[in-house]
Structure 1
Amino acid sequence: MQKRSTRIIVLKFLVVFILMITSFFVLQHNASWYQQPVGEVMSVKNLSSQSLQDQYGNNIKQHDERVKVKILNTEKKNEIISFKNTYDDAMAITQPLHQHDQIFLSKSEKSWGLKDFKRDTFWIPILILVIGVLIITTGKAGVMMTTSLFLNVILFIFTIYLNLITKDANIFWLFILFSLVASAITLMFVMGIKNRLTWTVLLTVITSTILAMSIGLLVFSLTKGKGLHFELMSFITQLPQPMFLSMTLVGVLGAVMDEATDMIATLFSVEREHPDIGLKDLLITGRHVGQEIFGALSNTLFLIFMAEQIPMAILYLRNGNNWGFTYTMNLSLGMIQTLISAIGIVLTVPAGIFWVWILHKWQQKKAGIQS
């Protein structure tokens, strides 16, 4: 029996490996799927290198290379073009090209140039590997989790699309609806629609998220937004405040759902072992569980925020700006998002205990009526 189980697992991994290899070769030759020009680098010749220094004393080496590219699609298919590619050692914006790289091309009035790299050849096989390993190791739970993730991605794209096609749409209200539906989809697929745990977690997530966002909005209103530089948000094409609130809402939702799932699952286990548990004992248990989760989760949120901001913070500091200006320009809004998420994490404990207790009493009353 054990050998048969091992063979099945090996066979599943073999299927995942075959799918990875197949997708790699298919995507290597899928240039016809794209409307924009795609090319393959035939050869690269280094032309020159020079050292540059900006006004702040930052030194960097810049390189020029001559690239020959074969166009793989459009009416210019199989045509060989040549252009100069310039990159620097930092490779933050510009990057070197190598033979057999597939790239998207752009054409100005006189010449061709590099627009972006074609990366589907690599990231889709990696995605297949990740999903395959997840499903093999977790079974049905992995299938349901992957399905909910796929649905949430579609829902997210649809929400953005609604914002784009709706005139004068308030993106914050659209993301409120997105958060409600995404939370329900995730919990129902992962825990089951008829599971009492699902509805308890969902009620807790909604309650603590609403409270955290309400506290944030109340503080913004009382302080009249002083110190909040929404205009510093990058690539904003509409009102920045609703956009910031939408970003914050999604961040709070993720943090709260993580904590609520762990805490309420623990409280349900305690409830099953001690059906006659009182409110005081439930409060003590919930508080202990919340204390264990709160510290780690809050620090995780802070570290994620800091990791995201490190490149820009270093860029500001290396260009002669002090810490105060760097914080104001680059870190302040993210820190506020982290604080609101932390408030949501704290409120999840009493909200979770409240809903566990309410549903526990309702279950007892229902059992008493039936008996």
Structure 2
Amino acid sequence: MKKILTYSFALLAILLLGLLIQAKSSALYSEPVMRVEKAEADAATQTQKVTGELLNQSGSVTLETTYYENESVSPLYRTGDQLILQKMGNTWRVQALKRDGYVFILLGLFIFVMLSISGKKGLRALLGLVLNSTLLLLFLWINQQNGRLSLLFLMSIYTIIAVFLAMGTSYGFKKLDIRKVFGTLVSVFLAFTVCVVAMNFLKDEGLRYEEMQFITRPYRSVFLAGLLIGAIGASMDNVVTIISALDEIRAQNQQLPLKKLIQSGREIAQDTASSMINVLMFAYLSGAIPSFVFYMANGWIFSEVIGMHLSLEILRTLCGGFAIVLSVPAALFAFSMAEKMGRRRLR
């Protein structure tokens, strides 16, 4: 009963604090923030007239802006919305909707669920997520400050450090399992090499970088860097699953021959690899759904939209799939080598 009350209080606190942030955090913004008090839309011209009071400055604002039926770029504003504004001369322009309180609620619920289910392991996983995210931003900042350093080179270094960080925060740096680190890194870089060689051989034919048109850096290097990072999670998950399962089998039966253990690892991989590739495919393709729907709603042909927005996602899926498949022999090799070395020490 006490545990239920604690969880209920935590959920209520997250909800109330998020609503408080949404209502009162405008004072922390340097940009003008307005609460919409009146919004009138003209469907014929697809324009809307918005009137409201500034929350972090004095005065009221009336502005006119366009909106689109799909509301992906310029949505239809409603009474009670908070808008972040920008003044250009005598004209006010809407930069974005203010949603910080709602974002806080979503993040709070995510952390709450993870800690409730996983406990200390969930806390360590969150710590690893924060450290890896901070490290990634640091490497991107270094690349921005020094254009001579290749982004792909920096992301290769980041991949190695990120795997060590993820493993260390999840299982403890003192208990760092070199087998899992080795299997992950080998499968990631092998899969990435296969994809890069194929891209070079085919001269990127069929790949449409237009969806990356807002990037100011060379498209290909940015895409390859993302391809490398995207393969980490898929490979690491499969390597950890296989080696951990084999460790448990070994703990239950010390006399089981290594050959039988490797066979068991292959059977485990048959179940995990296919399902993980499906998960990877859905994860990548789901990211293209908003732009896919947007272009279809604006009269684009179905085949053109698929070629434009799914070519890169499909390649990301293939590279991640290669990493998952290659993680099986890499994990089994790392496990078998550790077993043989352990037996030699016992002798």
* TM-score (structure 2 length as normaliser): 0.91
- Structure 2 runs not aligned, ≥5 long: none
Per the TM alignment, residue 27 of structure 1 is displaced from its structure 2 partner at its CA by: 4.3
Which residue number corresponds to residue 37 of structure 2?
A: 42
Label 1:233 to 1:111 Cα distance change in 2 as closer, same or farther (>3 A).
closer
Residues 9 and 213 of structure 1: is their aligned pair in 2 closer, same or farther, counting only changes over 3 Å? Answer: same
Match of 2:335 among 337, 353, 356: 356
Asked if residue 90 in structure 1 is aligned to residue 70 in structure 2, the reply is yes
The question of whether the paired residues in 1 share the 8 Å contact of 2:84 and 2:98 is answered with yes
CA distance in 1, matches of 2:295, 2:333: 46
Instruction: Name the SS for the 1:169 alignment partner.
Output: coil
Q: Structure 1 residues 167 and 40 mapped into 2: Cα distance closer, same or farther (>3 Å)?
A: same
Q: Confirm or deny: 8 A CA contact 1:290 1:349 kept in the other structure.
A: yes
Provide closer, same or farther for how the CA distance between residues 222 and 150 of structure 1 changes in structure 2, counting only shifts above 3 A. same
Q: Distance in 1 between matches of 2:308 and 2:46?
A: 31
Q: Find the counterpart in structure 1 of residue 47 from structure 2.
A: 64
* Equivalence for 1:270: 249
Q: How does 1:189-204 map to 2 (within 5 A)?
A: 189-195=169-175, 198-204=177-183
Asked which structure has the greater CA Rg, the reply is: 1
| CA spacing shift, 1:127–1:229, aligned 2, 3 Å | closer
Shift of residue 10 of structure 1? 2.2
Partner of 1:249: 228
| Residue of structure 2 equivalent to 1:340 | 319
2:283 maps to 304
Following the alignment from structure 1 to structure 2, what is the Cα–Cα distance between the partners of residues 26 and 340?
41
User: Equivalent residue for 2:83?
Assistant: 103
2-side partners of 1:229 and 1:21: how far apart?
45
User: Is residue 2:199 matched to residue 1:220?
Assistant: yes
Contact 1:145 1:190 in 2 (8 A): yes
1:132: how far off? 2.0
User: In the superposition, relative to structure 1, how do residues 299 and 111 fare at CA in structure 2: closer, same or farther (>3 Å)?
Assistant: same
Aligned equivalents of 2:53 and 2:82: distance in 1?
Answer: 9
1:184 aligns with 2:164: yes
Equivalent of 2:138 in 158, 167, 173: 158
Can you list the C-alpha shifts for 1:194-253, whole angstroms capped at 9, x where unaligned? 336x32221110010111111122223333444444465332211222111111111111
Once the two structures are overlaid, the 10-residue window that deviates more, 329-338 or 343-352, is 329-338
The alignment status of 1:144 with 2:127, answered yes or no, reads no
| Structure 2 letter corresponding to 1:49 | A
Instruction: State the partner residue of 1:30.
Output: 25
**Length, aligned pairs only:** 346
SS in 2 for 1:260: helix
What corresponds to 1:321 in structure 2?
Answer: 301
What secondary structure is seen at the aligned counterpart in 1 of 2:288?
A: helix
The amino acid of 2:313's aligned partner reads G
Distance change >3 Å, CA 133–CA 13, structure 1 → 2: farther
Gaps of 5+ in 1: 1-5, 51-61
Is residue 284 of structure 1 aligned with residue 263 of structure 2? Answer: yes
Residues 296-319 of structure 1 show CA distances to partners (whole Å, capped at 9, x for unaligned) of: 111222222322223444555563
Separation in structure 2 between the aligned mates of residue 194 and residue 9 of structure 1, nearest angstrom? 35
Give CA deviations for 1:164-203 in whole Å, capped at 9, x if unaligned: 111233111111122222221111111222336x322211
* Contact 2:35/2:52 (8 A) holds in 1: yes
Contact 1:267-1:285 within 8 A present in 2 as well: yes
**SS of corresponding position for 2:58:** coil
Amino acid at match of 1:86: T
| 2-structure distance, mates of 1:224, 1:96 | 43
In angstroms, what is the RMSD of aligned CA positions? 2.2
Mapped to 1, the partners of 2:59 and 2:127 lie a distance apart of 42
CA contact (8 A) 2:51 2:61 kept: yes
Q: Distance in 2 between matches of 1:210 and 1:90?
A: 41
Superposed CA offset, 1:313-333 (max 9, x none): 45555635362x444332222
Alignment partner, residue 344 of structure 2: 365
- Correspondences of 1:76-87 after superposition (within 5 Å): 77-87=57-67
Any idea what SS the aligned residue of 1:294 has? helix
Change (3 A) 1:312 1:102: closer
Change (3 A) 1:211 1:95: same
The alignment partner of 1:104 has SS state of strand
Aligned match for 2:16, one of 21, 25, 40: 21
